[in-house]
Chains A and B, each alone.
Chain A
């Protein structure tokens, strides 16, 4: 009988009798002193912007987005629609506001997991995205970020570092390929 793929793959590796090589520990590296300034700079480089709570409130009032969904308690008074059963029904979502758990200053990446997402599709399908983080939750780099995540269990988690973008047409940067066309970060 033909050996199963699993059995043949594992047998082929075991048959090599490879000597185990050491797994290194990851040391601490020096991180920037001013985390907030570094974070803001990194986010700007990724074409995202930091806005204040007041600026966001003003923007929402002035822009009159037809469909807004906020899972951030700070802004939940702006929610003007129901959470749908199927994410496709959020295809016309104009603005989503979610909470982020912490952020890495070196690259502006914000960690968001299922506990922050009423539907996994929300930060991608919305036309514009706002993520709310707290100043004390900005860490220096990705090593510190993973230390914060630890082994917490969530079915889905994502580091978001900017709006959806592409440079596939002659290397010209275009914002808003498939997902959110803008990312604003509110730092409380």
Chain B
């Protein structure tokens, strides 16, 4: 399904769509409030952008540094060319441990690699421990936002599914009550799990450590109670120096939710005595994106989600409308690199207003890349129906006579044409738009009447 088709489904429930739009805008406003308390905000964005640009420009060097230093720290480093390799590596570790239940904190990479279905097919019970992720896991849904995975749900939805899965009181909508029920349920899982999986926010080449940020503390609850910690990262998550974290941790939470920092920012460098720590470095198309000069810097992304919260299209179409692991503006420039055909409508799911670029903490020129992808997709698709009408229009605008006649025709015909013709499925423009009332006369006619009097 294309983005416009999916968006239509989302927009059917008007009240909920409005609520979704308003909720995300509040998050954007919170971000604005906090960043204005930091006079050096723009310097920080520029620094972050340059640090990432530098790292990407010698990514091979830093990856080898990371491997060398992490290995010296006692971390077992694995490399995965693609999603399949990534899943196999995890499958093998779990098999060796004879492990049947794992706890997992939020990791967009494992979503991208479809790790959960892979493990479930092998009889392993995967427990997502981020509250939002546990909720959508109960509902068998993917996340609709990378930072707020259950942002599309109302508390009534959550109350209902908790009543079914956790036997909470029917109709109790109190977020404190529901969160507490999830706390008790997940604590049991934490206490039993032998293996914990986490994502990675930043990996530091010089120290061979990696950092995981959460507000709930679920990543730490998982890994410190388990015997084995497996951390999964895309190869673009690297930064060179520990002190670079100062820049990125100041930017990340402020951009994401308007908090000054996440409440837990854990630095993992060596396993506890007697325990195991694995780090999987995953490519899965990233070196391909790196090879595309115009789109290279999309790999600077630190997954804060600010571009989603600000995007007028994301807010009004919901995360699921994109059909990709990473939705929103950043997803729309990353996904076509993975599958141009499947994600061909995403770069068009934008007004090109540039708000995504303005809020991006690492200064990715998102809206320009959306425009670039449109060129690529149009080239790949050849002349489309829309192309044909544009050619027609081109003929009309180049001949003054044709323009004059067609204008008269249009005014006459639009008045008499039934709506079904204007708002038919072939006319994509008519979707979600209303034609303005037609003037009785053209501007030219009006000008002749009113201005020639003088």
C-beta contact mask, A139-164 vs B, less than 8 Å → 1, else 0?
A: 00111011101010111111111111
A169-B267 contact given A9-B287, A20-B54, CB 8 Å threshold: no
Describe A's contact surface by its main secondary structure: loop
10 tightest A-B contacts by CB? Answer: A179-B217, A168-B132, A155-B270, A107-B260, A121-B224, A177-B216, A12-B287, A172-B175, A6-B79, A5-B81
- Apart from A20-B58, A178-B216, list 16 A-B contacts with CB within 8 A: A4-B79, A12-B290, A16-B287, A21-B56, A24-B47, A24-B54, A106-B250, A109-B265, A125-B221, A142-B246, A155-B269, A156-B269, A166-B215, A171-B148, A177-B182, A179-B264
**Distance (Å) between the CB of A27 and the closest chain B CB?**
7
Instruction: Find out whether the CB atom of A120 lies under 8 angstroms from the CB atom of B224.
Output: yes
**Distance (Å) between the CB of B171 and the closest chain A CB?**
15
B281 contacts partner chain A, Cβ-Cβ < 8 Å? yes
Q: What residues on B are CB-neighbors of A107 within 8 Å?
A: 250, 260-261
CB-based nearest A residue for B52: A21
Q: List 14 A-B contacts (CB under 8 A).
A: A9-B81, A9-B235, A10-B60, A12-B283, A24-B51, A26-B246, A88-B225, A108-B260, A125-B224, A158-B266, A161-B261, A161-B262, A166-B215, A177-B131
A53 contacts partner chain B, Cβ-Cβ < 8 Å? no
B18 contacts partner chain A, Cβ-Cβ < 8 Å? no
Q: What residues on A are CB-neighbors of B249 within 8 Å?
A: 142, 159
- Cα(A155)–Cα(B271), bound, Å: 7
- Cα(A9)–Cα(B261), bound, Å: 33
C-beta contact mask, B29-73 vs A, less than 8 Å → 1, else 0?
A: 000000000111001000100110110111110011001000001
Q: What residues on B are CB-neighbors of A42 within 8 Å?
A: 260
> Measuring CB to CB, which residues of chain B are less than 8 angstroms from any residue of chain A?
23, 26-27, 38-40, 43, 47, 50-51, 53-54, 56-60, 63-64, 67, 73, 79-81, 85, 129-132, 135, 148-151, 153-155, 158, 175-176, 178-180, 182-183, 186-187, 190-191, 206-207, 215-218, 220-221, 224-225, 235, 240, 242-247, 249-250, 257, 259-272, 281, 283, 287-288, 290-291
From 105 to 119 in chain A, residues with beta carbon under 8 angstroms from any chain B beta carbon are 106-109, 119
Q: What residues on B are CB-neighbors of A10 within 8 Å?
A: 60, 63-64
> Measuring CB to CB, which residues of chain A are less than 8 angstroms from any residue of chain B?
4-6, 8-10, 12-14, 16, 18-24, 26-27, 29-30, 42, 45-46, 87-88, 91, 106-109, 119-121, 124-125, 141-143, 145-147, 149, 151, 153-172, 174, 176-180
Describe B's contact surface by its main secondary structure: helix
**Distance (Å) between the CB of B411 and the closest chain A CB?**
48
A24-B267 contact given A119-B224, A177-B179, CB 8 Å threshold: no
Q: What residues on A are CB-neighbors of B260 within 8 Å?
A: 42, 45-46, 106-108, 161
Instruction: Find out whether the CB atom of A158 lies under 8 angstroms from the CB atom of B158.
Output: no
Instruction: Find out whether the CB atom of A125 lies under 8 angstroms from the CB atom of B225.
Output: yes
Instruction: Find out whether the CB atom of A151 lies under 8 angstroms from the CB atom of B57.
Output: no
A16-B290 contact given A9-B63, A179-B220, CB 8 Å threshold: yes
- Cα(A3)–Cα(B273), bound, Å: 34
- Cα(A6)–Cα(B288), bound, Å: 15
Instruction: Find out whether the CB atom of A161 lies under 8 angstroms from the CB atom of B272.
Output: no
A174-B175 contact given A18-B57, A21-B50, CB 8 Å threshold: yes
- When the two chains form the complex, which single residue of A12, A14, A20, A160 contacts B57, counting CB atoms closer than 8 Å? A20
Instruction: Find out whether the CB atom of A161 lies under 8 angstroms from the CB atom of B81.
Output: no
Q: What residues on B are CB-neighbors of A106 within 8 Å?
A: 38, 250, 260
Instruction: Find out whether the CB atom of B130 lies under 8 angstroms from the CB atom of A168.
Output: yes
Instruction: Find out whether the CB atom of B265 lies under 8 angstroms from the CB atom of A159.
Output: yes
- Cα(A22)–Cα(B43), bound, Å: 16
Instruction: Find out whether the CB atom of A169 lies under 8 angstroms from the CB atom of B50.
Output: no
Instruction: Find out whether the CB atom of B272 lies under 8 angstroms from the CB atom of A169.
Output: no
Q: What residues on B are CB-neighbors of A27 within 8 Å?
A: 43
Q: What residues on A are CB-neighbors of B266 within 8 Å?
A: 156-158
Q: What residues on B are CB-neighbors of A30 within 8 Å?
A: 39-40
A168-B131 contact given A24-B50, A46-B263, A154-B269, CB 8 Å threshold: yes
Instruction: Find out whether the CB atom of A178 lies under 8 angstroms from the CB atom of B221.
Output: yes
- Cα(A94)–Cα(B2), bound, Å: 52
Q: What residues on B are CB-neighbors of A108 within 8 Å?
A: 260-261
- Cα(A151)–Cα(B269), bound, Å: 12
A146-B187 contact given A12-B287, A23-B54, A121-B220, CB 8 Å threshold: no
- When the two chains form the complex, which single residue of A6, A16, A157, A164 contacts B267, counting CB atoms closer than 8 Å? A157
